[in-house]
Amino acid sequence: MSLKNSVFIATSLDGYIADKNGGIDWLHSIPNPDNDDLGYVEFNKEIDALVMGRTTFETVLGFDVDWPYNK
């Protein structure tokens, strides 16, 4: 059995995930008029587990929505 690690991440053109203050508001500035998931649903079907860091976890908890992941 071979194992594979895959990454699905939003990064800016200069390679950053968050701004200097750790914010991700820039993600909402990208036009997405069709509300396209950019392949996330298909990617999520192919993975067995989700790994995230503490800061990301705490950021997601702050979204004021039900937990959005099923892994």
Between residues 71 and 36, the one the model is more confident about: 36
* Nearest in space to 7 (alpha carbons), one of 61, 56, 63, 66: 56
CATH of the domain at 3: 3.40.430.10
pLDDT in tens, 8-31: 998 888 888 888 888 888 888 889
Domain span at residue 1?
1-71
Task: Please tell me the total count of domains within the chain.
Answer: 1
pLDDT in tens, 34-68: 999 999 999 999 999 999 999 889 989 999 999 98
The pTM of the full predicted model, rounded to 2 decimals, is: 0.68
**CA-CA-CA-CA torsion sign (15, 71, 49, 36):** negative
